Structure 1
Amino acid sequence: MRYQWRLLLFRSYRSSPRSFLSHHSQFQVISNTTRSFSSFLHERFGVGALQQRQCLFALRSPLASSVSRSFSSESAIEEKPPVEAVVIDVFSRLTGKDEIRRELDSNNIVISHELALRVLRELESSPDVAGRFFQWVLEAYPRKLSSKSYNTMLRIFGVNGLVDEFWELVDAMKKKGHGVSANVRDRVGEKFQKDGLESDLEKLKEIFASGSMDNSVDKVCNRVCKIVMKEVWSADVEKQLRDLKLEFKSDLVKMVLEKLDVDPRKALLFFRWIDESGSFKHDEKTYNAMARVLGKEKFLDRFQHIIEEIRSAGYEMEMETYVRVSARFCQTKMIKEAVELFEFAMAGSNTPTPHCCSLLLKKIVTAKKLDMDLFTRTVKAYTGNGSVVPDSMLQHVLKSLRSVDRFGQSNEVLKAMNEGGYVPSGDLQSVIASGLSRKGKKDEANELVNFMEASGNHLDDKAMASLVEGHCDAKDLEEASVCFKKMIGKEGVSYAGYAFEKLVLAYCNSFQARDVYKLFTELVKQNQLKPWHSTYKIMVRNLLMKKVARDGGFEEALSLLPMMKNHGFPPFVDPFMDYLSNSGTSAEAFAFLKAVTSKKFPSNSMVLRVFEAMLKSARHSEAQDLLSMSPSYIRRNAEVLELFNSMKPVKSLEYASSGKLSDKSDVFSFVVMLLELITGQPPVDLRAQDGDYNQLADPRLELNYNHQEMVQMASCAAAAIRHLTRRRPKMSQIVRALEGDMSMDDLSEGTRPGQSKYLRPGSVSSEYNASSYTADMKKFKKLALENKEYQSSEYGGTSEYGLNPSASSSEEMNRGSMKRNPQL
């Protein structure tokens, strides 16, 4: 029976696993015949045609995207320039065939029929660049130029006034069986008419009217498809096709198959009939068109048959076929079939690009289940013909692993790629080491170290540092310490500074500064490790934290100063100053000064800095103690004495007597100032010891004041200097009383008679006894008289340096009294 293959097409096929890769049939691509038009284009658009460049990226962006983008396994694709814009830029800058090919390959650009059309359409106003692109594709990928491509180039020549080139291309199209489209006729006809080219216009109309050139391939294709799609395939369908009396050419058959893509079964029937009927012998272009139509899940077996026929017939799978079908397989989760297709393509001459391999590997690792067998097969297929795995491929795979939370399987991926001869760069080693340790994958991290050693490629110092840093980030400080010790045991201490600082910082951030101090000193003394200066600073700061310093951290921080000096670093003293000014003792301050001593007691500038820090923080007692512990030449130093003299404490009288501060202390201090205004005298006057308070107002006023206001001020002062803070009025009450909004009786409300009077020695109060008051006043008078403000001869004398009162002054201070009005 004739055409028994028809029965096979309608049989119910059962899927059976078949390998796309045929190890016994590898053939070269049949060379194309030389085009006569090629030499013309090369002469017209070769070197020298770059003189009129235009700003190509200002052209409109194409609507379509590159087919290679459909492979991406990422959720969001980084926005890139349109593929056609990149191609246009390449052909605008470069002229050499080889450099153009290298540039396109570096951008992972595959020239397809659709891409060629888009580029030519964008270059309609740039005939030089368009001609150079058309010439290059004609020589490199002639089958990518269809009738549409030729007509687009023809239109570019015509509308730009390149008449000679237009007719040359028309002749070339005649030989290839391509016709002039109606669009070209109309657009170029208008240009000819506008330019007054009447003879050319008539010639164009005659050619189009003759039908010899626009028995248009598109129209013929539509007639064929209409017959095939109209009814079920039968002898009548075959008769109708024969009655068309067509000469089937490669472009026409390819176009028909592509239009029949909606019904792959009928496309295959047409494909078989046209071959066995003798109407056309299939070539590489039509085989690949049929393969693209059948590359779907439902027609997998027939697709396998077709691609095996391609190889058996001596043809090769086109890159466009691989890209489209592989993308379709990956989109429908047919990862195994995509890998088999990749193996088949890598066995031919049109091998997939590194980008294609990366996309497939990313799809494998992000699948529902990671199949390492498929991953290994893909790597072997890629490296089997001598291709080298680039770092970017592993980088993309690692990124995909992280996106699906499978970074723990990085070692398996690395081993599979290592079998193909790949050795990761130091940066990628660091990425893997850091990723595993950060995830807490302790065993996997150790496995990585062992695997790299076994393969003869030790992890470099940066990778080991990343491993330590990762363990630190995972809060596994013990493992980080062990890993660091291994690192310096293998690599030495020369490059350990970065990793050690990360380790120290991790311990300190976990409030274990004293623990890392032990490790610090051990490694420095036993392993001759030289930490960075910044590492020393981290240690000192954390050891001087208040709680740590009290538990021994201060002494440990001091011990680091000579170690810093031995490593050539200046001592880091700022944290010591902060500590001593806030909570350090005089003994600790003295120990610090001894620690920064080289030959003798530290320089005067360092001593002054310590004293100044303590005095500024009102730690005068500790500063005095430190001064008494210092050598005699420091105690007699004029700068030191001047510093103490200029920074004497100025405290409120309340604080001087009780050592406690409150809002009532502010009231007390305010009325002391008020008394000074009233009397014109300091709060403690050694000359006024007769107990006569009748002349309370300043005599210099000469009674030139409002008597009622003076009484109000004196009453407020008397109420506010009561010994018991709870009996004093609030500041708001003082203000209201002075403004006349509150009576003096209200200000003294709740005060028992006699409570505001001066308590002389011997008198008794249930609230505040005389001995306590007398002792407090002595403390206050000593402080008040030591203040520089009151050290004039008018108020009393001091010793030579003003640091300690003289004997006579001390006696006077003990007898001094504060002015009070017992009548208020």
Structure 2
Amino acid sequence: MLRTVLNSKCFNSMLQLAAANSDAAHFWSLVSSMRSKGYGISKTTLQAATESFRSNGMSKDADMIQKAFSAHARNAAVAEACKILRSDADEISKLDKLNELGVEVTDEMVALVVEKVGQFPRQAMVFFYWVEQSAGAGINWGKVYNAMAKIIGREDCIEEFREVLRKMSSKEVGMDKEVYVILIDRFLKRKMFEDAVDLFRFAMGGTEKPSAQDFVFLLKKLVVRDDMDLKLVMSVVRIYQKAGNEVKSSVFDAVIKSLRSVERLGESGRVLKAMEDGGFAPDSTVHGKAVLAMCDAGNLETAHKHLARVEKSGHNLDPLVWSALVQKYSLGDDVDMAVSCFPEMLERRSGNQVGSALEVLVYGLCRKKEAKEAFKVLKDLVLKKDVVPWQSTYKYLIHKLIRQGHLKEAFDVLGLMKSNGFPPYIHPFITHILKSGTVDDALDLLNAMSSKESPSITVYTRLFQGLFKEGRHEIAQQLLSVSPGSVRNHADVLDLFYKMKIEEPAAAAAPVL
């Protein structure tokens, strides 16, 4: 039994019959079968079926067949155009064959062809030239150029891409945000940084300008590249600002974070300078962050120069920034540089604004050298530069001096502390005297506490009680003998020594068990 194979003519005849009988279900089933076999609807069938549907009140099906015919014609044209573009013919021959197609160039056709030949940018360029020559007045050049830009925006045809951008500019056609995002990501992944900046510049001139987030994203990518180009950093900032945007301080926070991620905090100052050259106006807080970042990276000399430069230009950085620089010098191998920072800092700070920096300097000197050296520096700053140390600095230095056996210097610190209006810090002195101090040590403490009047009787009784507790009765007696009469004859002192005399014989008479 022979099997009949239906050709395109048979299908079209069956379509006309189904339409005439108002059998829409059968009609569209046949259309689907025709498509699967690669057949199309003829113009005769289109006209006859449309008239049948409309005469039978089936306007929806009549409209649908019109769309189906148009889609088939478009798809056929797209397929033929792609076939021509993929052939081995030269470019001129391809252009001639495209002209012979005799099809209307529409936005939709362009988008479909470009999508299909997108993996072969050279083929897309031939098609693009043909579109420019053949397109009518009704074509949307924005869609055409954006479709082309998305395809040829790559390193192997970058000159053609730049030509497309020039044509877009001449026709005042902007880049779609979707296309920009795709291209900028592609350029950055392929390390096409200069082209990424050029793309940013072009997009900033259009109606769909890159957002603040796009700006920060590009800036972060530029500062983490292996061979960072500060000119590109400057250009991006300048482009963004010329478009009427403000570069906020938070942008530099994002830059710092990116530099930290690639262990390049030492470049913070150079990056900030490039941003300034691009028009960014950093405030004192931003400059402080740059200095702190460089300090964290150990780039102390550059941090010092940056700090000095910006403060001379009128910025007033947080005292903690100076403290950080001094601390890094102190913890490193150049504590002398930390000392030398102070005169420079005091040129722009009053003496009561450098307490934090002085404290870390004293800590550093005590660790790297000894407490006596720290005392000399502190004493000079207090007496000659009117520096006011923190109370905690005085206390720390007193502890260190006493532990290292520099009791005289510790008493001098107590005097400086009093001159700055702090209450005398006598606890470590008393602890030392009670354990191993001499009568002279006790007198030095009492003299250091004295001003116009003698120390309160409470201090004397505290010393006497402590000495008795430590079993140092002889030292207590010697101290009493050289104390002022007001102390020796005070009721509390007399009572204390009287009790000790009573307890001593009792202790001696106690039976040994």
Counterparts of 1:590 and 1:612, CA distance in 2: 16
Name the residue aligned to 2:29: none
Matches within 5 A, 1:374-773: 374-449=232-307, 451-452=309-310, 455=313, 457=315, 461-545=319-403, 548=404, 550=405, 553-635=406-488, 637=490, 639-640=492-493
Are 1:430 and 1:466, in contact at CA under 8 Å, matched by a contact in 2? no
Counterparts of 1:611 and 1:594, CA distance in 2: 16
Indicate which of 130, 133, 152 corresponds to 1:276.
133
Indicate which of 203, 212, 215 corresponds to 1:354.
212
Asked if residue 317 in structure 1 is aligned to residue 35 in structure 2, the reply is no
- Bigger proportion of residues as helix: 2
Counterparts of 1:225 and 1:481, CA distance in 2: 78
Counterparts of 1:343 and 1:647, CA distance in 2: 92
How big is each residue's C-alpha offset from its partner over 1:651-695, in whole Å with a ceiling of 9 and x where there is no partner? xxxxxxxxxxxxxxxxxxxxxxxxxxxxxxxxxxxxxxxxxxxxx
Secondary structure of the corresponding residue to residue 491 of structure 1 = coil
Name the residue aligned to 1:786: 504
> Which amino acid letter does the alignment assign opposite residue 478 of structure 1?
D
Q: CA deviation at 1:636?
A: 5.2
Matches within 5 A, 1:22-41: none
Name the residue aligned to 2:54: none
Matches within 5 A, 1:49-198: none
Which structure has the greater CA radius of gyration?
1
How big is each residue's C-alpha offset from its partner over 1:455-502, in whole Å with a ceiling of 9 and x where there is no partner? 554656454444333323434221111112111123332422222222
Are 1:318 and 1:350, in contact at CA under 8 Å, matched by a contact in 2? yes
Asked if residue 297 in structure 1 is aligned to residue 297 in structure 2, the reply is no
> Which amino acid letter does the alignment assign opposite residue 476 of structure 1?
D
Are 1:366 and 1:401, in contact at CA under 8 Å, matched by a contact in 2? yes
How big is each residue's C-alpha offset from its partner over 1:240-271, in whole Å with a ceiling of 9 and x where there is no partner? 9959x7x7654564465346544444444444
Are 1:208 and 1:214, in contact at CA under 8 Å, matched by a contact in 2? no
Secondary structure of the corresponding residue to residue 351 of structure 2 = coil
Q: CA deviation at 1:300?
A: 1.5
Cα gap change, 1:315 to 1:627, in 2 (>3 Å): same
How big is each residue's C-alpha offset from its partner over 1:405-454, in whole Å with a ceiling of 9 and x where there is no partner? 44444333233222233332222222222333454545423432454367
Larger mean CA deviation between 516-525 and 590-599 belongs to 590-599
> Which amino acid letter does the alignment assign opposite residue 330 of structure 2?
C
Q: CA deviation at 1:327?
A: 1.5
Q: CA deviation at 1:316?
A: 1.4
Secondary structure of the corresponding residue to residue 544 of structure 1 = helix
Counterparts of 1:287 and 1:208, CA distance in 2: 36
Counterparts of 1:219 and 1:515, CA distance in 2: 93
Cα gap change, 1:627 to 1:491, in 2 (>3 Å): same
Are 1:254 and 1:286, in contact at CA under 8 Å, matched by a contact in 2? yes
Cα gap change, 1:212 to 1:249, in 2 (>3 Å): farther
Are 1:221 and 1:256, in contact at CA under 8 Å, matched by a contact in 2? no
> Which amino acid letter does the alignment assign opposite residue 421 of structure 2?
G
Q: How many residues align?
A: 449
> Which amino acid letter does the alignment assign opposite residue 504 of structure 2?
E
Cα gap change, 1:645 to 1:336, in 2 (>3 Å): farther
> Which amino acid letter does the alignment assign opposite residue 516 of structure 1?
A
Secondary structure of the corresponding residue to residue 413 of structure 1 = helix
Are 2:237 and 2:280, in contact at CA under 8 Å, matched by a contact in 1? no
Cα gap change, 1:628 to 1:453, in 2 (>3 Å): closer
Are 1:536 and 1:564, in contact at CA under 8 Å, matched by a contact in 2? yes
Are 2:330 and 2:364, in contact at CA under 8 Å, matched by a contact in 1? yes
Are 2:114 and 2:124, in contact at CA under 8 Å, matched by a contact in 1? yes
Are 1:275 and 1:281, in contact at CA under 8 Å, matched by a contact in 2? no
Amino-acid identity (%)? 33
Larger mean CA deviation between 304-313 and 501-510 belongs to 501-510
Counterparts of 2:422 and 2:242, CA distance in 1: 56
Name the residue aligned to 1:308: 166
Secondary structure of the corresponding residue to residue 201 of structure 2 = helix
Q: CA deviation at 1:531?
A: 1.9
Secondary structure of the corresponding residue to residue 353 of structure 2 = coil
Counterparts of 1:622 and 1:217, CA distance in 2: 117
How big is each residue's C-alpha offset from its partner over 1:284-338, in whole Å with a ceiling of 9 and x where there is no partner? 1231122112112222222112111111122112333222211111111111221
Counterparts of 1:213 and 1:532, CA distance in 2: 89
Q: CA deviation at 1:595?
A: 1.9
Are 1:437 and 1:474, in contact at CA under 8 Å, matched by a contact in 2? no
Are 1:330 and 1:363, in contact at CA under 8 Å, matched by a contact in 2? yes
Counterparts of 1:507 and 1:560, CA distance in 2: 16
Q: CA deviation at 1:538?
A: 2.1
Counterparts of 2:277 and 2:119, CA distance in 1: 43
Name the residue aligned to 2:28: none
Cα gap change, 1:233 to 1:437, in 2 (>3 Å): closer
> Which amino acid letter does the alignment assign opposite residue 370 of structure 2?
Q
Counterparts of 2:275 and 2:318, CA distance in 1: 19
Cα gap change, 1:322 to 1:636, in 2 (>3 Å): same
Structure 2: any 5+ residue segments left out of the alignment? 1-57, 88-93
Cα gap change, 1:396 to 1:360, in 2 (>3 Å): same
Are 2:291 and 2:303, in contact at CA under 8 Å, matched by a contact in 1? yes
Cα gap change, 1:538 to 1:225, in 2 (>3 Å): farther
Counterparts of 2:81 and 2:480, CA distance in 1: 111
Counterparts of 2:82 and 2:436, CA distance in 1: 95
Cα gap change, 1:446 to 1:511, in 2 (>3 Å): closer
How big is each residue's C-alpha offset from its partner over 1:678-723, in whole Å with a ceiling of 9 and x where there is no partner? xxxxxxxxxxxxxxxxxxxxxxxxxxxxxxxxxxxxxxxxxxxxxx
Counterparts of 2:127 and 2:468, CA distance in 1: 102
Q: Could you tell me the TM-score, scaled by structure 2's length?
A: 0.74
> Which amino acid letter does the alignment assign opposite residue 357 of structure 1?
F
Q: CA deviation at 1:576?
A: 1.9
Cα gap change, 1:317 to 1:631, in 2 (>3 Å): same
Cα gap change, 1:496 to 1:237, in 2 (>3 Å): same
Counterparts of 1:584 and 1:210, CA distance in 2: 111
Q: Could you tell me the TM-score, scaled by structure 1's length?
A: 0.48
> Which amino acid letter does the alignment assign opposite residue 278 of structure 1?
A
Counterparts of 1:644 and 1:259, CA distance in 2: 109
Name the residue aligned to 2:91: none
Cα gap change, 1:308 to 1:639, in 2 (>3 Å): same
Counterparts of 2:71 and 2:437, CA distance in 1: 95
Are 1:634 and 1:640, in contact at CA under 8 Å, matched by a contact in 2? yes
Asked if residue 257 in structure 1 is aligned to residue 110 in structure 2, the reply is no
Cα gap change, 1:220 to 1:370, in 2 (>3 Å): farther
